[in-house]
Structure formats: C-alpha cells, structure tokens
Amino acid sequence: MDIFSKLQEEKARLSPSETRIADILLNDFEFAVNASIIELADKADVSPPTVTRFCRRVGCDSFSDFKVQLARTAYVGMRYLRPEPKSRDPADVAQDIITKAQNALFLLHRSLDMAAIEQAADKLSKAEMIYAFGSGGNSSMIASELQNRLFRFGLHVTASSDHGMQLMMAAAAKPTHVIIGSSFSGRNAELVRAFSLARETGVTTIALTQADSPVAQAADIVVQIDLAEGNNIFRPTSTRIAYLAAVDILASLVAYNIPQAAVTLRRIKQQLVAHRDGDDRQLLGD
Amino acid sequence: MDIFSKLQEEKARLSPSETRIADILLNDFEFAVNASIIELADKADVSPPTVTRFCRRVGCDSFSDFKVQLARTAYVGMRYLRPEPKSRDPADVAQDIITKAQNALFLLHRSLDMAAIEQAADKLSKAEMIYAFGSGGNSSMIASELQNRLFRFGLHVTASSDHGMQLMMAAAAKPTHVIIGSSFSGRNAELVRAFSLARETGVTTIALTQADSPVAQAADIVVQIDLAEGNNIFRPTSTRIAYLAAVDILASLVAYNIPQAAVTLRRIKQQLVAHRDGDDRQLLGD
DNA sequence: GATCCTTGCAAATTATTTTCGTGATAAGTT
DNA sequence: AACTTATCACGAAAATAATTTGCAAGGATC
C-alpha cells in the first residue's frame, strides 16, 4: 500500500503536529523528498522525533524508508491527490499532462483483469468474423485501431462507428462471430442494444469499458478499464491512452494465439528494416 | 536529468569498483533503494566513500539525494536499460506494453523542446486558418486529433491525409495561415514538398516529427519527438501515445492563449457534469 | 486527581562524509 | 631500460551529521 492512501486513511486520527507534517507533504512535496529530517521538522515546527513517529505511523520502517516510499509513489500517486496544480506555466502544463497519462497507464495496469483479456483474445483469435464498434471521437478511434491491428493477423474484421450500421451488423452476425465494442463512459445505449441483439443469437460480445456500467452488463466478456474519475471526464487524452494500451495488449495476445500471425509480422518487420527510408505508412506495421 | 541516462552516459568511464555498484543498481534495484550506504558498499565489495563518490559522479548531491532520485525515476526508467523480458505469459506481455508506453511518455517529456512548443502554440492561436496534415494510419490519426482539439477553441482548422489535397491546400494557403504536419519517421517526402511549397509564400509550417529528419528540416518550427529506436519502429502504439500526449500539451497551451477558449471549455465541462448519463460522444469534450 | 496521549530534550546510536595516505598505473625523463 | 613524477582509485579512520531512543514534562480527558 502506498503512502498517500495510507495518509488519507489516517488523516482523521493524526495529532496536530502530525497534521502539520502531512500538510507539508501535500503542499510542498518537492521540499519534502529532498529535506533531511531536521529540515522537515523545522518547517513543520516539530521535533525530529515527531517526524520519525509520523513515518512509523504511515507504515514506514524509518525516515529514510519513508523518503524512498515517498519518492517512489510520487511519480504516480502525487497528482491524483490534489486536484489541479494547473499553473499556466508551459513546463507545468507539460509535466501535468505527461504525469496524468502515466497515471492512467498505471491505473489501467492495476485494474486489468488478465483472465478476461485472455478470454477475449481467445475468442477473437478463433472468430470467423469480427465487428469492432465504437462511437464518438474516442471510441470510434479505438474501433478502427482494433480493425487496424487485427486484420494484420489474417482475421476478418470490420469497424463501424455508425449506430444504424452496428445494429444491422449485430442482427446479421452468426454464433461464430464476435462483436467487440468500446465505450469510455459505459453508457452508450446504442451499443447496449447492439450487444443485446447479438446475444439473442449467441454471438460472443466483448466490451472495453468501465466495470459495472450498462455496456459492461450487456456483454459476455468485459475488459474493464477503470480509471479514477478525475482522469476520466475532463481529460480524455489520458483515458484514450489507457484504451490504446489495452488494445495493444489485447492485440498482442491475439497474435500469440495465431501461428500464422508471427510469420506475417516477421515479414512486415523485415520489410520495414529493408525500406527504412520510406514514409510513415510503413510504420503502420508492427 | 535522470540517473539512468546519466549512468548510461558515464558507463564507459566508470572504474571497476564503480561498475560493480552500477551492476547492483541494475540487477537488484529493490535492494539498492532500500539499502544504507554501508549495506550497498558491502554488497559491491567497496568502501562507503566509493559509494559516495559514485553518487556524485552520476550527478547527485549526496547518497540520500541519490536514493531519492533512484526511487523517483525507477518506476519508469528501470526497464529500458534491460532489453526484453518478452515471455509469452500474458501478465508479462501486459507489463511490457504498459512499461514501454510509460517509457515513451518519459522519453517524450525529457526530449521536449518547450520553447518550440510555445512558439508553435503561439502561431496556432493566432492563425486565421490551420491545416493539419498527416498520412498513414498513425500520422493521419494525429492530424485528425489536432483538428478535433483545435476547432473547439474557435479556430479554423481542417485536417487532410491525402497528399494531393495537401499540396493543393499548401499552394492555396496565405501567410496568415499555419500548416502543421506530423510524420513519425520524418521521411514523408510528400509532406516535405507541401512544407516547401507553403514556405515559398510565407506560410508558417510546424512539424511534429523526429529532429534533424527531412520533414524537420523543411519546417519553420519543429516540435521534436525523439524516442529511442527500439520503441519506434516495431511498437507503433507507444510512439503514438507519445505523439498524442504531445498534441495534448500543444492544444492545452493553445487554449491558454485564447481567452475565448476558457469560456467554451468551461461550458463544455458544465454540460458534461449535468449530462453524465449520456453516451461517449460527450466525452469528446475536454 | 489519575491516566493517557503528545511532544521535546538530550543522549545514544547509527549513517554519511571528509580527510588523508597508500598503492597502482601511466607518462615523462635520464 | 630504469627511474622519477603525476595521476588516479580506493579504503581506513576520523569527523561530522543525521536519526532514533529513552525519558520526562505538559495538556487534555475522564
């Protein structure tokens, strides 16, 4: 368990002196990781022993262990404690965006249900036909990314971001087919309808979405992507990055399931090396 | 600058004792961040002073500073020193992909030229018309992402992934217009032609690409995105994630330059909060 | 008024850094 | 080739700094 969650948990039980220490951690983190116990104690107007006791309280062995843990979780844990540092200084903006993106990946990794992903990869690699659904700028990008990745392995796949089309495809799909749909919010009602329709005829449905959302409940297999609220709503880029990484993982696992894919990919790679001087289109390869 | 790049840089000049210390860092990192200077010295078969000297050598003020820096960059920096774990075990595959994506963000952040980005943001926010160019699956996605982000701020922007169209637009552009083009490889010859054409008539050109590449040389302003080779060629997803983050940064800076944008964005946010139950399309907002 | 908790002081302990000297290697000199 | 001389890496020990522990005083609570 990381320091920051421990801190939030203990917050109420902290003594006045300890609260002052905690405040410094949250407000002037840079100072805190670089300070010695004496400097930190001075700044918090407490004695060094109090700082030591504080460290023990939040689950560390010693002050130096505390500093290491602090520095370690800082990278990921820091920003989602305080809402928005949001200075307009370009360096801060860049730092903030990069950190949020890394956090999103971190959270994705932590919440990934590997069993579900493996199951999804398994179904996809055996599917006679795959429909990738997603609407809105974000999810439709994910749908075309799925198409982009999967067709390379020799799979039959088509992507659609059109609700009407999705419904028709879902109605026409056979039990040997697979529908994979993405919804960041989990509340895409049309996708839910498409899933329900497909399941009536025994088509396998896979959702890339938030756990326990309507879309998740409508699907057979749920690759859940649960990010903290803050990341989610107002900063779509970091959420999208997490989805892209999830698709990357899924596609890689599918590739391992398909012997032919390895051969194809190797050929693409060789071609890439041979023609390094071409333009971007070649980078499509993987 | 982080410890691990410093380490690689200094590697050749390291003495035998120092090399032993470096080895421990790389092989038993967990031990290294938790050890005291004495424990670390013992394990490396050197004396504590040698460890202190080693710390100074890699750019730290003291041993404790060293430990903090270590713990701090560990999360992202670790893996790109060792080549490939690459087992087929799903958990490893996932870990590998996530780490590579995080590294790409880390490297992006390190190599970002903030002055160039600010300059680019400045030009974009003042442009009468913006053309976003990019071809191939990756760069065309970046182009449409640019359109997607910039039109929200009230800017006039169009994206194109069609070479012929790009040339015509470049020929028709006026000095008050801006062309922004993306090329992962930096070798998109058509984009170079479009840039050259545009510059003849004094149109500002901005490139999102590798430094010192043909595309970079053809542009007025270069937002350089330099990732290590390994990431680049065979794993397009992580490169793309870096580009997406770069666009995110650029767009955020543009937003700060445009007073009107803040108002628009606030309205979008309020609407999002009010209609939380809608579908994905609303997440397009930022 | 007894008890418990918080806190700081001072001493003890431990960790880290500095200083200094040795030995090894390389470069220059006779 | 042999002999300085310079340079450097390295560790021992001393000096310094940081951290922890034991203990007692001051408050709050019951």
Residue A127 has pLDDT above 90, yes or no: yes
Provide, in whole angstroms, the distance separating residue B15's CA from nucleotide D4's C1'. 26
> Per-residue pLDDT tens for B227-275?
765 444 446 788 889 999 999 999 989 988 887 776 766 666 665 555 4
* Confidence (pLDDT) at B19: 85
Q: Which of A68, A184, A253 sits opposite B280 (nearest CB)?
A: A184
Nearest to B114 by CA among A103, A86, A96, A92: A92
Q: What is the mean pLDDT of residues A26-52?
A: 83
What's the CA gap between A143 and A161, in Å, rounded? 8
Interface test with B, best of A87, A279, A284 (most B CBs within 10 A): A279
Q: Are strands B129-134 and B204-209 parallel, antiparallel or unpaired?
A: unpaired
Q: What is the mean pLDDT of residues A16-25?
A: 82
Strands (E), chain B: 129-134, 157-160, 177-183, 204-209, 221-224
**Is residue A166 very low, low, confident or very high in pLDDT (cuts 50, 70, 90)?**
very high
Q: Quote the CA–CA distance of A141 and A161 in Å, as a whole number.
A: 9
Closest CA to A123 of A255, A254, A19: A254
Distance D20 C1' – A72 CA (angstroms): 24
The residue type of A108 is L
Kindly state whether A152 is in contact with chain B, defined as any CB-CB distance less than 8 angstroms.
no
Residue lying closest to nucleotide D22, CA to C1' = A49
**8 Å CB contact of A252 and B71:** no
Most confident of A23-32, A134-143, A196-205, B3-12: A196-205
Residue in this structure with the two tokens 């309280």, named with its chain if needed: A57
Name the token pair of A217: 């409940």
Contact of A211 with A226, CB cutoff 8 Å: yes
Distance CA B208, CA B191 (A): 11
DSSP structure class, residue A84: -
Burial label for A93, CB within 10 Å (0-12, 13-18, 19+), is: buried
Q: Given CB atoms, is A104 within the 8 Å cutoff of chain B?
A: no
CA–CA gap between residue A162 and residue A241 (Å, rounded) = 23
Which H helix or E strand runs over A10? helix A3-10
With b for 16 or more beta-carbon neighbours within 10 A and e for fewer, the A55-75 pattern comes to: bebbbbeebbebbbbbbbbbb
- How far is the C-alpha of B64 from the C-alpha of A164, rounded, in Å? 62
Say which nucleotide is closest to residue A53, CA to C1' distance.
D20
In the prediction, which pLDDT does A89 show?
A: 81
Give which of B140, B144, B218, B132 is closest to B184, Cα–Cα: B140
Distance CA B18, CA A199 (A): 63
How many C-beta atoms lie closer than 10 Å to residue A174's C-beta?
11
Query: What would the pLDDT profile of B118-136 be if each residue is shown by its tens digit?
Result: 999 999 999 999 999 998 7
Contact B190 A279 (CB under 8 A): yes
Q: Which of A217-226, A230-239, B85-94, B126-135 has the lowest mean pLDDT?
A: A230-239
Give the pair of three-digit tokens for residue A253. 């696992």
More confident residue, A61 or A1: A61
Q: Please choose, from the candidates B78, B81, B60, the residue with its C-alpha nearest in 3D space to the C-alpha of residue B69.
A: B60
Identify protein residues whose C-beta is within 7 angstroms of any atom in strand D.
A 36-38, 48-49, 51-52, 55, 62-64; B 15-18, 45-50, 64
Maximum average pLDDT range among A270-274, B142-146, B269-273: B142-146
**Which residue ranges form the domains of chain A, and what is each CATH number?**
3-78 (1.10.10.10), 109-274 (3.40.50.10490)
Q: Of the candidates A97, A191, A280, which has its C-beta nearest B188's C-beta?
A: A280
Residue B201 and residue B176 in contact, taking contact as beta carbons nearer than 8 Å: no
As a whole number of angstroms, the distance between CA B59 and CA B126 comes to 41
B237 → closest Cβ in A189, A244, A253: A244
pLDDT at B172 over 70: yes
Which nucleotide shows the minimum CA-to-C1' distance to residue A49?
D20
Cβ of A90 and B184 within 8 Å?
Answer: no
Q: Which of B65, B75, B183 sits opposite A76 (nearest CB)?
A: B75
Q: Which nucleotides of C are covered by protein (CB under 7 A)?
A: 5-10, 14-19
Q: Chain-wide mean pLDDT for chain B?
A: 82
**How high is the mean pLDDT of chain A?**
81
**How far is the CA of B40 from the CAs of B37, B57, B70, in angstroms?**
5, 16, 14
Tens digits of per-residue pLDDT, A45-87? Answer: 888 888 888 888 888 888 888 888 888 776 554 444 444 555 6
- Touching A: B residues 206-235, CB under 8 Å: 233-235
pLDDT at B209 over 60: yes
Take residue B113 and report the two structure tokens written for it.
Answer: 């030229």
Phi, psi dihedral angles at B204 (to 5 degrees): -75, 135
Q: Which residues does strand C reach (CB under 7 angstroms)? A: A 15-18, 45-50, 53, 64; B 36-38, 48-49, 51-52, 55, 62-64
For position A279, what pLDDT does the model report? 45
CB contact under 8 A, B237 and A245: yes
Lowest mean pLDDT among A16-25, A113-122, B157-166, B192-201: A16-25
Residue nearest to nucleotide C5 (CA to C1'): A15
Model confidence at A281: pLDDT above 50: no
**Cβ separation of B64 and A65 shorter than 8 Å?**
no
Nearest nucleotide (C1') to alpha carbon of B66 = C16
- Calculate mean pLDDT across residues B63-87: 67
pLDDT of A131 reads 97
**Two tokens, residue B196:** 């050259």
Amino acid identity, position A55? C
Q: Which of B283, B284, B286 to mutate to test the interface with A (most CBs of A within 10 A)?
A: B283
Point out the nucleotide closest to A61 (alpha carbon to C1′): D20
Q: Which of A92-101, B36-45, B277-286 has the lowest mean pLDDT?
A: B277-286
Q: List residues bridging with A130 in a β-sheet.
A: A157, A178
CB B69, CB B80: distance < 8 Å: no
- Conformational region of residue A59, where left means phi above 0, alpha means psi within -120 to 50, and beta covers everything else: left
Higher model confidence: residue A212 or residue A137? A212
Tokens matching residue A136: 């809105």
**DSSP secondary structure code for residue A137 in this structure:** H
Which two three-digit tokens encode residue B262?
């803040």
CA of B19 to C1' of C20 (A): 25
User: Which strands sit side by side in the sheet containing B221-224, from one edge to the other?
Assistant: B157-160, B129-134, B177-183, B204-209, B221-224
Among A81, A73, A238, A112, residue whose Cα is nearest residue B102: A238
Query: What's the N-to-C CA distance of chain A in angstroms?
Result: 36
Using CA atoms in the order A122, A144, A214, A163, what is the torsion angle rounded to 10 degrees? Answer: -130
A272 chain-B contacts, CB cut-off 8 A:
233-234
**Res A83: pLDDT:** 46
Q: Which residues lie closer than 8 Å to B27 by C-beta, 6 or more apart?
A: none
Asked if residue B92 has pLDDT above 90, the reply is no
